[in-house]
């Protein structure tokens, strides 16, 4: 460290309980300014000082650390929005706006600690979101029932919301570490309790058959959609994103490669989430017949509305005017059809699990089931096969009882 320093090289000097140093750098706005580094020992500061000089030679250097809110805005606009799916952006933006920025936004990014994150999550679980977000105040005066009239409905965030908020902050801080704004990701060091996984009780083979029989008897215009989700395990977005070009009636094949998604105020027709989700699937005769019926129904709808027809993607399932079906509406229609058929209502997303159970009941080989369900890992398929049906459980308990009785 001997030798005379050049002009603009800066200085190292004692400071409080350690040492400090500065170097002249060019800021992003083009102006020159001093930037300081600190440490407990002279050698530590010298290493930081050398690194600072190296950064200054490469280009502009920020002299002030951003707040958490400023960095999260940059992360959403420059990292998430251009590189991730629109639905991912909507999800992250919601967590940032509603749960992270209001509590941690004013803190300096480099000063954020594990304790800050832990205390934020603990406090978040006790804050009524109806009050915090002003939901009750936005309601009509005659519909206000809690915060705006001096009460509280205690609408606390669920475990899933708490975990999602932590995960969003962790994802953002991962980029901050990668861009060398901070040295470690403090959010990854805070553990949160996972939401309890609710066990799925799918329909039986008889239930699924009864549902389809009832839908066919009523000439349901979504009959083909119900057939595809129950027999091929297609996801809601995949069914709504199907186009006539993806169906080959001659070879009896269906190609899954697009989906319909609601992202904020937009309904998007976009590629499926992963390459593993794209695949050719053979169409059983029941599916082919249902799709031919659907094609005839859509032709009738197009003739009925004439110039009002608006389909631009060639979708298989549309409204009577050719517009995409709202994903949430399909979920509600499925529940309505189930109640109409006198069946126990299950979420539409659980029909995929129903399809898995049907494959188990039909003793389909797991590798074939993996291809039908388009699981990326066979372990996912085997997890389904490991969940024995209620009838199998009863049979096993019966055998155990007989065996114990026999030994007695």
- Give the largest CA-CA distance in the chain: 97
What is the three-class DSSP state of 199? coil
pLDDT at 145: 78
β-pairing, 258-263 with 266-271?
antiparallel
**Taking the domains of the chain in order of start, what are their residue ranges?**
11-58, 68-189, 205-391
pLDDT at 154: 78
pLDDT at 266: 75
pLDDT at 3: 43
Find the angle CA(28)-CA(31)-CA(33) to the nearest 5 degrees. Answer: 100
pLDDT at 407: 42
- Strands of the sheet containing 247-248, edge to edge, are 247-248, 253-256, 279-282
pLDDT at 92: 94
Tokens of 332: 């509600």
Q: Please state, in angstroms and rounded to a whole number, the distance separating the CA atoms of residues 109 and 114.
A: 12
> In the chain, which stretches have pLDDT less than 70?
1-10, 28-29, 62-64, 200, 272-279, 356-408
- How many whole angstroms from its chain centre is CA 31? 42
DSSP conformational letter for 2: -
Q: Please state, in angstroms and rounded to a whole number, the distance separating the CA atoms of residues 233 and 244.
A: 19
pLDDT at 24: 84
**C-beta pairs of 108-111 under 8 Å, 24+ apart in sequence:** 108/65, 108/66, 108/67, 108/68, 109/65, 109/66, 109/67, 109/68, 109/70, 109/71, 109/176, 109/181, 109/182, 110/65, 110/181, 110/182, 111/65
Helix (H) or strand (E) holding 269: strand 266-271
Instruction: Single out the residue of 343, 203, 335, 231 nearest to residue 287, CA to CA.
Output: 231
Instruction: Single out the residue of 348, 362, 356 nearest to residue 387, CA to CA.
Output: 356
pLDDT at 76: 94
Helix (H) or strand (E) holding 230: helix 223-231
Task: Report the first-to-last Cα separation within the chain, whole angstroms.
Answer: 89
pLDDT at 185: 94
What dotted CATH number matches 205-391?
1.10.443.10
The answer to whether 68-189 and 205-391 have equal CATH topology is no
The model's pTM: 0.66
Burial pattern 286-317, b for ≥16 Cβ within 10 A else e, equals ebbebbebbeebbeebbeeeeeebebebebbb
Paired residues of 254 in beta bridges? 247, 281
What phi and psi values does residue 253 have, to the nearest 5 degrees?
-130, 155
Q: Please state, in angstroms and rounded to a whole number, the distance separating the CA atoms of residues 203 and 230.
A: 10
When the candidates are 1.10.8.420, 3.40.630.10, 1.10.150.130, 3.20.20.140, the CATH number that belongs to 68-189 is 1.10.150.130
Is 238 exposed, middle or buried (CB count within 10 Å of its CB: 0-12, 13-18, 19+)? buried
pLDDT at 298: 92
pLDDT at 122: 93
């Amino acid at each position: 460290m001997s030798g005379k320093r050049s002009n603009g090289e800066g200085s190292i000097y004692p400071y409080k309980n350690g040492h400090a140093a500065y170097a002249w750098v060019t800021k992003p706005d083009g102006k020159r300014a001093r930037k300081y580094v600190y440490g407990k020992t002279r050698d530590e500061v010298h290493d930081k000082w050398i690194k600072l000089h190296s950064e200054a030679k490469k280009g502009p250097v920020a002299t002030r650390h951003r707040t958490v809110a400023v960095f999260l805005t940059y992360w959403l606009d420059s990292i998430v929005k251009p590189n991730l799916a629109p639905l991912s952006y909507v999800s992250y933006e919601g967590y940032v706006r509603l749960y992270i920025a209001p509590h941690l936004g004013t803190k300096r990014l480099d000063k954020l600690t594990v304790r800050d994150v832990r205390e934020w999550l603990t406090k978040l679980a006790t804050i009524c979101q109806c009050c915090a977000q002003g939901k009750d105040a936005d309601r009509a005066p005659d519909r206000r029932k809690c915060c705006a009239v001096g009460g509280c409905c205690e609408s606390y965030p669920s475990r899933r919301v708490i975990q999602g908020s932590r995960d969003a902050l962790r994802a953002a801080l991962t980029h901050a570490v990668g861009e060398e704004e901070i040295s470690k990701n403090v959010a990854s060091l805070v553990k949160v309790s996972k939401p309890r996984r609710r066990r799925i009780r799918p329909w039986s083979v008889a239930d699924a058959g009864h549902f389809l029989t009832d839908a066919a008897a009523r000439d349901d215009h979504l009959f083909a959609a119900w057939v595809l989700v129950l027999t091929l395990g297609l996801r809601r977005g995949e069914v709504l994103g199907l186009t006539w070009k993806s169906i080959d009636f001659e070879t009896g094949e269906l190609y899954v490669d697009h989906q319909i998604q609601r992202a904020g105020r937009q309904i998007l027709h976009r590629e499926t989430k992963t390459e593993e989700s794209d695949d050719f699937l053979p169409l059983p005769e029941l599916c082919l017949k249902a799709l031919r019926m659907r094609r005839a129904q859509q032709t009738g709808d197009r003739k009925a509305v004439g110039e009002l027809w608006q389909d631009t993607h060639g979708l298989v399932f549309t409204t009577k005017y050719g517009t995409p079906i709202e994903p949430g509406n399909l979920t509600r229609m499925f529940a309505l059809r189930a109640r109409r058929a006198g069946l126990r209502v299950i979420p539409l997303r659980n029909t995929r699990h129903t399809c898995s159970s049907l494959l188990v009941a039909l003793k389909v080989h797991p590798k074939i089931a993996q291809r039908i369900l388009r699981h990326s890992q066979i372990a996912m398929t085997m997890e389904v096969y490991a969940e024995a049906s209620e009838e199998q459980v009863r049979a096993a308990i019966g055998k155990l009882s007989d065996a114990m009785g026999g030994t007695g």
